[in-house]
Amino acid sequence: MDTTLQDPLVGQLLDGRYRVDARIAVGGMATVYRAVDTRLDRVLALKVMHPSLAADASFVERFIREAKSVARLAHPNVVQVFDQGTDGSYVYLAMEYVAGCTLRDVLRERGALQPRAALDILEPVLAALGAAHRAGFVHRDMKPENVLIGDDGRVKVADFGLVRSVDSVTSTTGAVLGTVSYLAPEQIEQGTTDARADVYACGVVLHEMLTGGKPHEGDSPAIILYKHLHEDVPPPSTAVPGLPYELDELVASATARTPAVRPHDAVELLARVRRARGALGEEQLDALPPQARFTEHDNAEDRTSVIPRSLTVPRPLPVDEDAQAPGDGVHRTSRFAAEPPPPPRRRSGPPRRGLVALLTAVLLVLGVGAGVWYINSGQFTKVPAVLTQTQARAEERLEAAGLEVGGIEHEYSDTVERGTVISTDPEPGSRIRKNDAVSLVVSDGPETVKVPYLKGTRLAQAKAQLKEDGLEPGLVTQAFSEDVAKGAVISSDPEAGTERRAGTAVSLVVSKGSPVDVPDVTGDDLADARAELEEAGLKVKVATERINSEYDKGSVAAQSPGADRQLAEGDTVTLTLSKGPEMVEVPDVVGASVDDATKLLEESGFEVEEDRGLLGLFGDTVKSQSVEAGEMAPKGSTVTITIR
């Protein structure tokens, strides 16, 4: 059964702009819908906070913080936020709609992925998180559900609802924020997070992509949390024999239980991922995971013909002299220890006849083999791994490998440090003749541009100017202004003249024009009320339903917004007309005591006045009432009782 049919928002127009077409997903904090922006005629996603949480200021603040944080990123691998607003009890974000699926959907359907596919997904995820980390934010809830894969192959990171400043300390007393399978030990034990918590989660996600399963399983969340605190994430190759040790090393460094041992942010982890990819061959990158291999074989003999790397004697991970973490002064070491090879067995007994002839033949073969080796391989080498290294260091390694340094190009990069290598041609690990040339592309760091002066510029023109200058329009809010025309820009954040990276989102405040005081038209005839509001520069809408009120039938019983509000010129005031007062039957109170009569009349909805005169100063019995018992009178009207 389609549960979206029971969703009250489906089919509605939210905030007079967003037509809700279908429910996409439901979370603990919000529901996501596919919707259409009727102004711009584009499909988008609406993230609507559950109404039960909208009254909680902390939840609303987190919701709005997500909008502002993501709007500042404006990264191609981050789901963009277009708008944020409220409509009655609904608080919403209008976001980019990504047609496709989540990484969780892929893993659920396919299980383990090929190394190339896993790295193809991980790299844009790290690029997005790297931009967030360098902008001062931590995601705090990285998991496959928050990695969206579009039908066009684009990878985007979603759900920055738990985002925090890198410098903030978040207490998790009473509740652990995030998902238990991806929480870093320090999040669990100390309740603190920084960029390295996202690095840890990405390491767990990489392990899951390579193996098809989470590294720590348990019957309860408490067991999983305990394992994160006390057990290392196992190497992927223990679950999928034959995976290269470079991938084991990536997972080991990203998921180190001590934060200081991990890459300090997603940018550094991305550099290590690229370096590992460059060290892998095509066959290693495209190796099928076990379940894919088995689908191609029909019998046990074929399956056992694939000889996996031994699980009992893991190979040592290499120590790369250039993989030193910034500022730590030590080399990264592996968690794996190598066992020494067994000594060669010696043959017992006297030498056989013909040994001299045999040795001669062996030497002859070796001599011929050396010649063949030189012809086929001796004149070739591999392009060394120089990505993320300084230009000078890269040139030294190329020369040491017997290669020439070809052309050097420069490009801007948001993720690769200025002066270090972005890419090579041919790529690292490629087979190349000695003395051939390798071209380098060196980073100039992030491209920076100045925020233009936009005050007084119409919104559409301001957005076009930002894009022309290499920036992105961000969140748009409105405010009253006495000196800036309606629809023009009042200010920007960052301010004009501020230098920012190219692609940074700039938030704009747009003028609603001069404020208009809303006049009080309750009790007025509809025609008079409409004329007064329109004269003030406001539009009028009449509600379809009418209500009982003290005012005459057809008069204005209520208005929204009320008379104590300010609106912009052209805004709308909704008028609700009166059905007249509600008529109520007057009870009989003659002969009753004053207190009983008053109570009975007030419970029926009437006001009560007493008429004692001179004779009733000390009396306590009702002798008459101004409206006869059984007659109908307007609710709220006054009934006078005479006391004698």
Same domain, 174 and 268: yes
Residue 329 has pLDDT above 50, yes or no: no
**pLDDT value of residue 210:** 96
Selection from 47-56, 113-122, 382-391, 556-565 with the highest mean pLDDT: 113-122
Mean pLDDT of 379-389: 83
Both tokens of 189, joined, read 């034990």
Pairing of strands 499-501, 515-517: unpaired
Q: Rounded distance, CA 12 to CA 525, Å? A: 32
Cα-flanking dihedrals φ and ψ of residue 467, to 5°?
A: -65, -40
pLDDT at 379: 66
Asked whether the predicted pLDDT for residue 341 surpasses 60, the reply is no
Q: Same domain for 243 and 281?
A: yes
Query: What pLDDT was estimated at residue 550?
Result: 86
Cα separation, 98 vs 121, in Å, equals 15
> Do 284 and 188 share a domain, yes or no?
yes
Closest CA to 581 of 553, 555, 556: 553
**Residues 427 and 457 grouped into a single domain:** no
CATH number of the structural domain spanning residue 54: 3.30.200.20
Examine residue 327 and state whether it is found in any structural domain, yes or no: no
Q: What does the alpha-carbon distance between residue 152 and residue 149 come to, in Å, rounded to a whole number?
A: 8
Residues forming beta bridges with residue 427, ordered by sequence position: none
Longest dimension (CA), the chain: 152
- In one-letter notation, the amino acid at residue 638 is T
Q: What is the mean pLDDT of residues 19-36?
A: 88
- Considering the domain boundaries, does residue 2 fall inside one? yes
pLDDT at position 309 over 60: no
Asked whether residue 302 is domain-assigned, the answer is no
How many CB atoms lie under 10 A from the CB of residue 621? Answer: 13
**Least reliable range by pLDDT among 140-154, 235-249, 325-339, 529-543:** 325-339
**Which segment of 8-17, 70-79, 110-119, 436-445 scores lowest on mean pLDDT?**
70-79
pLDDT of residue 348: 39
Across 16-36, average pLDDT: 88
**What's the pLDDT at 317?**
35
Task: Give the N- to C-terminal CA distance of the chain in Å, as an integer.
Answer: 72
For the ranges 184-198, 284-298, 352-366, the maximum mean pLDDT occurs at 184-198
Confidence of residue 416 (pLDDT cuts 50, 70, 90): confident
181 domain-assigned: yes
Least reliable range by pLDDT among 111-120, 328-337, 384-393, 427-436: 328-337
Examine the pLDDT at 124 and tell me if it is beyond 90.
Answer: yes
**Entry field: residues in the chain:** 644
- Residue 575 above 70 pLDDT? yes
In a domain, 368, yes or no: no
Local structure of residue 525 (DSSP, 8 states): B
Which range of 101-105, 151-155, 188-192, 205-209 scores highest in mean pLDDT? It is 205-209
Distance between CA 112 and CA 293 in Å, rounded? 11
Q: At which of 97, 121, 140 does a domain end?
A: 97
Number of domains in the chain: 6
- The residue with greater pLDDT, 222 or 341, is 222
Compute the average pLDDT of residues 290-315.
Answer: 35
Q: How much is the pLDDT for 21?
A: 92
194 lies in some domain: yes
**Which of 141, 159, 248, 414 does the annotation list as catalytic?**
141
Q: Are residues 504 and 407 in the same domain?
A: no
231 shares a domain with 259: yes
* Domain end call among 247, 268, 291: 291
Q: Does position 304 have pLDDT exceeding 50, yes or no? A: no
Residue 244 has pLDDT above 70, yes or no: yes
Q: Is the pLDDT of residue 215 over 90?
A: yes
pLDDT band at 156 (very low <50, low <70, confident <90, very high): very high
Contact 436, 403 (CB under 8 A): yes
Q: What's the mean pLDDT in 424-436?
A: 86
Q: Judge if 144 and 273 occupy the same domain.
A: yes
At a CB cut-off of 8 Å and minimum separation 6, what does 487 contact? 458, 459, 510, 511
Q: Tell whether the model's pLDDT for residue 387 goes beyond 90.
A: no
Secondary structure letter of residue 376 according to DSSP: I
Per-residue pLDDT of 49-83, as tens digits, reads 888 777 777 777 777 776 777 777 778 899 988 88
CA dist 37 and 47 (Å) reads 13
Shared domain for 266 and 187, answered yes or no, is: yes
Per the CB < 8 A criterion, the answer to whether 90 and 63 are in contact is no
- Would you place residue 137 in the very low, low, confident or very high pLDDT band (cuts 50, 70, 90)? confident
Non-local CB neighbours of 505 within 8 Å, separated by 6+ positions: 71, 72, 73, 74, 471, 472, 473, 474, 475
CATH at 617: 3.30.10.20
- Domain end: 495, 510, 525, which one? 510
**Domain co-membership, 50 together with 120:** no
Q: Which residue has the higher pLDDT, 412 or 212?
A: 212
Place of tokens 């999928």: 240
- Residue 252 and residue 117 share a domain: yes
pLDDT at 349: 41
> What pLDDT is recorded for position 429?
80
Active site residue 198: no
pLDDT at 355: 39
Pairing of β 499-501 and β 448-450:
antiparallel
Handedness of CA 259, 260, 261, 266 (dihedral sign): positive
Tell me, what CATH number does 250's domain have? Answer: 1.10.510.10
Selection from 309, 199, 330, 179 nearest residue 256 by Cα: 199
Q: Please state, for a pLDDT cut of 70, what percent of the chain lies above it.
A: 81
CB 92 within 8 A of CB 14: yes
- Can you tell me the distance from the alpha carbon of 171 to that of 90, in angstroms, rounded to the nearest whole number? 28
Residue 296 in this model has a pLDDT that exceeds 50: no
Q: How confident is the model over 291-316, as a mean pLDDT?
A: 33
Q: Taking 60 as the threshold, does the pLDDT of residue 368 lie above it?
A: no
Average pLDDT of span 336-342: 35
Sign of the torsion formed by the C-alpha atoms of 253, 256, 261 and 266? positive
Please say whether the beta carbons of 178 and 225 come within 8 A: no
Q: Are residues 270 and 401 in the same domain?
A: no
Contact between 512 and 568 under an 8 Å Cβ cutoff? The reply is yes
Banded model confidence at residue 343, pLDDT cuts 50, 70, 90:
very low
Q: Is residue 317 part of a domain?
A: no
Q: For residue 202, is it within any domain?
A: yes
Q: Which of 298-312, 448-462, 464-478 has the lowest mean pLDDT?
A: 298-312
Domain extent for 502:
448-510
Residues 63 and 167 in one domain: no
Give the number of other CB atoms < 10 A from CB of residue 542. 13
How many CB atoms sit inside 10 A of residue 457's CB?
20
According to DSSP, the β-strands at 437-443 and 404-411 are parallel
Indicate the pLDDT class of residue 86, thresholds 50, 70 and 90: confident
C-alpha pair distances (Å), 324 with each of 135, 320, 494: 24, 8, 36
Give which of 453, 450, 538, 537 is closest to 490, Cα–Cα.
453
> Any bridge partners for residue 96, and if so which?
44
pLDDT at 290: 66
Phi, psi of 142, rounded to the nearest 5 degrees: -75, 130
In angstroms, the CA 387 to CA 394 distance is 8
